[in-house]
Amino acid sequence: MEFISLLLVAFLFGGMLLFSLGFGTLAFKFLDVPIARKLIRNTFPFFYLYVFSVAIIASSTLVFKNFDAFLLVFVIAITTIPTGLILMPAINSASDNKHKRKFVLLHTASVLITVAHIAIAGFALYLLK
């Protein structure tokens, strides 16, 4: 089960890193901006579902094996809920309504949350070494 836990946390870490650094960057590099924006907006719900689902499954495998890693991964799962259900729609609304300052503030918050999630998952991997 420890190997499964390690794989799941690595899957979480790698998936978040690839989506946030690779997918978004490449979408804007290879697609026209309006198409890239629509693609990114439409994929974010799946990203948050992925993060939440993998974090819940990973944390459930860790609860009795490594409690510190469990807490870290569980925090990722719990904080993904308001990020996906509240923050992301607020970002989209600010963008749609041309509230640039509000958009920048909310988008910055979402980026910081994602970076924190990646760092937390990385530290959980360190604890599982």
Q: Cα–Cα distance between 125 and 118 in angstroms, integer?
A: 11
The predicted-structure confidence for 13-48, as pLDDT tens digits, reads as follows: 999 999 999 998 899 999 999 999 999 999 999 999
Q: Cα–Cα distance between 48 and 88 in angstroms, integer?
A: 10
Q: How far apart are the first and last CA of the chain?
A: 14
Return the H-helix or E-strand segment holding 92.
Answer: helix 88-96
What tokens does 100 get?
Answer: 């640039």
pLDDT class for 109, splitting at 50, 70, 90? very high
The predicted-structure confidence for 42-54, as pLDDT tens digits, reads as follows: 999 999 999 999 9
pLDDT at 1 over 90: no
pTM of the model as a whole: 0.95
Q: Cα–Cα distance between 19 and 47 in angstroms, integer?
A: 8
